[in-house]
Amino acid sequence: MTEEFLLPKLPYTYDALEPYYDQQTLEIHHTKHHAGYVTGLNNAVAKLREARESGNFALIKHWERELAFHGAGHALHCLFWENMCPGKEDNKAESELLAALEKSFGSWEKFIVQFKAATVAVEGSGWGVLAADGHGHLHIFQVEKHQDCFVPGLTPLLVCDVWEHAYYLKYQNRRAEWVDNFVKLINWKDVALRYSLIKK
């Protein structure tokens, strides 16, 4: 049986995000953690196929939960990798996306303050998310684990991983410092492209 989901290649080398994101953490994060979600997702898909073929749905709840956890984990990590590029101190969105951020949050500065605050305050393992609704308005929400607290109808454009595996080797308990440095790594061209595809 062929595997349905594959670990994507990163669009940069493992040392490309230094010094904000260290090579060792990035390599382990991609090759071990993300790869684990891909394996878990393929396994859940296979188990659900087996259940359909056998007609035995005794474990349906378990495998649907596995599908949600690993499927969301895979999708969020794919987006996270594409959302980053080599960092710079004065990193900022431009043009249409910048205007939308200013309109939705009051100003660029207010957006940044809210995005950092929401992301740092995720309880336990999870993600900070910038997402668009069907009218082009932008919203920030927190995801717990990979799949809890998702808001239906919003399309994630930008995600910041605040599981400890994402930052602990370099930042230990200093999650706020990781989030400060993540903002320097945001690939605003990627986020703008995703925003341009939203129906407004």
Q: Which stretch binds Mn ion (CB under 5 A): 4-12, 100-108, 166-174, 178-186?
A: 166-174
Minimum distance from CB of 162 to Mn ion (Å)? 9
Minimum distance from CB of 198 to Mn ion (Å)? 25
Name the closest residue to Mn ion (Cβ). 161
Task: Give the ranges where 127-167 is alpha helix by DSSP (H).
Answer: none
Only one residue has tokens 């910038």, namely 130
Q: Which stretch binds Mn ion (CB under 5 A): 14-22, 137-145, 165-173, 179-187?
A: 165-173
Minimum distance from CB of 43 to Mn ion (Å)? 18
Q: Is 6 strand, coil or helix?
A: coil
Q: Which stretch binds Mn ion (CB under 5 A): 13-21, 103-111, 139-147, 153-161?
A: 153-161
Minimum distance from CB of 165 to Mn ion (Å)? 5
Long-range own/partner contacts, residues 177-182 (CB < 8 A, 24 or more apart): 179/116, 179/119, 179/120, 179/128, 180/116, 181/20, 181/21, 181/87, 182/20, 182/21, 182/84, 182/119
- Say whether residue 161 binds Mn ion (CB under 5 A): yes
User: What is the torsion angle, in degrees rounded to the nearest 10, for the CA atoms of residue 55, residue 56, residue 61 and residue 67?
Assistant: -60
Q: Is 21 strand, coil or helix?
A: coil
- Say whether residue 66 binds Mn ion (CB under 5 A): no
Residues binding Mn ion (CB under 5 A): 161, 163, 166
